[in-house]
Amino acid sequence: MSDSVYKVIEIIGTSKDSWEDAARMAMITAAKSLRDIRVGEVISQDVHLDGDTVVFLSKIKVSFKYHDEA
């Protein structure tokens, strides 16, 4: 097994239904452009109002394998 390097970023998913859906959508969307996602850790959950609608926000720390393209 070779040595590996991982990068960590924070992303925020939103949903009108739940924090779980917000987290799920964040990971699904991130997986479309990031290769080798390893872990998603929910680090905070918030809500805000958009007019009369409650919007759930899940902030997630995502780690993925770093690929040197050089």
Residue-wise pLDDT for 11-39, tens only, equals 999 999 999 999 999 999 999 999 899 89
Q: Say if 53 falls within a structural domain.
A: yes
SS3 21: helix
Whether the predicted pLDDT of 62 surpasses 80: yes
Task: Quote the pLDDT of residue 4.
Answer: 84
Q: Say if 1 falls within a structural domain.
A: no
Using CA atoms, how far apart are residues 70 and 68, in angstroms rounded to an integer? 6
CATH of the domain at 60: 3.30.1660.10
Q: What is the extent of the structural domain holding 21?
A: 6-65
What pTM value is reported for the model? 0.83
Q: Say if 20 falls within a structural domain.
A: yes
Q: Say if 70 falls within a structural domain.
A: no
Total domains present in the chain: 1
Confidence of residue 66 (pLDDT cuts 50, 70, 90): confident
22 and 13 in contact (C-beta within 8 Å)? Answer: yes
Confidence of residue 1 (pLDDT cuts 50, 70, 90): very low
